[in-house]
Structure 1
Amino acid sequence: MHRGCNLSWFVEGQGVPVVLIQGSGVGANGWRPQLDALTPRFQCLCFDNRAYGRSVPSAEPLSLELMAEDVLALMDAQGWPSAHLVGHSMGGLIAQYVARRARARVRSLALLCTFANGKAPSRLTPWLVRIGLRTRIGTRRMRRRAFMEMVLTHEELSAADPDTLAEKLGRLFDRDLSESPPILMQQVRTMARADARPFLSELAGIPTLVASAEHDRIATPDSGRELARGLPGARYIELTGTAHAMTITRAAEVNALLTEHLAQAERNFHSATPVAR
């Protein structure tokens, strides 16, 4: 229990501590495509953000600061003085707020399909209005299809049976893709009020990977590049031919990037840590 919320979480693997933070409308199981690759070398903590999935009730109004506190509370519960943070979409923004609040506890940042300005992914462009409406009207099958069009490229969607793919994604998202839980819009509004750009320079020196997807229309590559520019020393990578769900559709490539980044950041962490005598 933290600040009135029974946070739901699990830990898998052995070794170096890593906290994986999901975005809006996705639960802890959204990291399943990463866990098989990471858990042989890393101890991975995954959780449902407050008010989503099994992390209920929310008790307090959502804020990025409160969700960052949740991450630190989970690290405390696990007995971790510090950890590497991996965040996707809103989870990447949360990770930035964790680093601002408790820099010494963050060994590195891996920010995937994300942004520094929370308004960026929620701007009411004509495309977002159209796709948003389609996720809420029509048959369940039509709504699932619209949601997948929002996070996948046309080629990724065409390469699989849509019903089978919707079922697979639903298991990872911990919900039927045809349904929009009420907390989803609260998460989006909370995200839109957050802006990490004023404090990004304070995070200089934290080993950081920023990875965007070429065709992501939620966390655009422009947003990723802006984020990387604001983080002195950050490494920017852009995966071609994929979109917002690249952690699922391009898991092997994402996992290779994460493994390399975490291993190098951990070496840096130990080389910088004074040896007790």
Structure 2
Amino acid sequence: MSTSSVRQGTSHRGCTLSWFVEGEGPPVVMIQGVGIGAEGWRPQVEGLASRFQCLCLDNRGFGASQPPGDALTVELMAQDVLALMDARGWSSAHVMGHSLGGLVALYLAHRARERVRSLALLCTFASGAVPTRLTPRMLALGLRTRLGTRRMRRHAFLRMVLAPEELAHADKDALAEQLAVRFGHDLADQPPVAMRQFQAMGRADATPFLRGLSGVPTLVVSATHDPIAPPAAGQALAAGIPGARYVEMTQASHGVTLRFAERINALLREHLEGAEALSPAPSAAGQGAR
């Protein structure tokens, strides 16, 4: 099926969701986290589109997916993704999520397991209590992203998502400008929906149904220096899903998909191709998924 990256809009539960599909092959849905849109997946789309159809969306309330509509919950965000799969005519897909997006992916798999070919869970957690806890480090980092000059706030944001080794000799101003393109906003600012996303994440907990995802090919990737989704959270998540594979990226932090795209994409290709080899041939109703 021929695809393009032209944006499309699909109405669901009070929001017109903005999304695009790029690539050829088996379908992959990519779900982003707090305060970042579909373009945050651009490095992965560029690395995977030669073998897979990649569907990326702005989560409701962010970017072109407006208005936020119903009360924001992780369950509603999972329903949004299923609505886009329906709009695309995909009976099933591989599902990939980063941070909050990983939690959405887990809720989607719990709600409609038969539609999930595999899970790739990147810098994420089973419980939203992990990233919303007020540890001294997170409190300090969070305050610095909201106080001071715009330049100071940008640099503070970089410290939240990048490892010390990445920042040691970097031109922080140039780096903030580059990342703003992927995040869809100036790093000195947080989009209005970010706090609602943060609150929705804090209320969500997939821990009770992790064992029920046994048999779903699952890759869990953590980053050693990640203060938002620390490796312990990734290890617990992988341990909770029987058969899940756990990989930890050293010298990386929460922005690993943007900064170490080549290594991440190699892991994702291996995971997706292995899971696809295990998937049964699509039914006649699901032929559009390939």
Equivalent of 2:232, from 222, 228, 232?
222
Deviation of residue 274 (structure 1)?
8.6
> 4+ residue stretches of structure 1 with deviation over 6 A?
none
Corresponding residue SS for 2:279: helix
Equivalent of 1:112, from 122, 127, 135?
122
Deviation of residue 131 (structure 1)?
1.2
Equivalent of 1:29, from 22, 26, 39?
39
Structure 2 gaps of 5+ residues are 1-10, 285-290
CA distance in 2, matches of 1:186, 1:129: 18
In the alignment of these two chains, the number of paired residues is 275
CA displacement 1:5-62 (0-9 Å, x = unmatched): 0101011001110000000111000001111110000000000000111111011110
Over aligned residues, Cα RMSD in angstroms? 1.4
Question: Identity percentage over the alignment?
Answer: 60
CA distance in 1, matches of 2:248, 2:175: 24
CA distance in 2, matches of 1:151, 1:211: 15
1:188 is matched by which residue type in structure 2? F
Q: Find the counterpart in structure 2 of residue 81 from structure 1.
A: 91
Q: Find the counterpart in structure 2 of residue 133 from structure 1.
A: 143
Deviation of residue 155 (structure 1)?
1.3
CA distance in 2, matches of 1:92, 1:63: 14
CA distance in 2, matches of 1:207, 1:132: 35
In the TM superposition, what are the counterparts of 1:187-266 in structure 2 within 5 Å?
187-266=197-276
Deviation of residue 154 (structure 1)?
1.4
CA distance in 2, matches of 1:207, 1:92: 14
CA distance in 1, matches of 2:31, 2:229: 16
Corresponding residue SS for 1:7: strand
TM-score scaled by structure 1?
0.97
CA distance in 1, matches of 2:85, 2:50: 20
Structure 1 gaps of 5+ residues are none
Deviation of residue 160 (structure 1)?
2.4
Deviation of residue 78 (structure 1)?
0.6
CA distance in 1, matches of 2:73, 2:171: 38
Instruction: Determine whether 1:170 maps to 2:188.
Output: no
Corresponding residue SS for 2:210: helix
Deviation of residue 270 (structure 1)?
3.1
Corresponding residue SS for 1:182: coil
In the TM superposition, what are the counterparts of 1:94-109 in structure 2 within 5 Å?
94-109=104-119
Deviation of residue 252 (structure 1)?
0.6
Corresponding residue SS for 2:95: strand
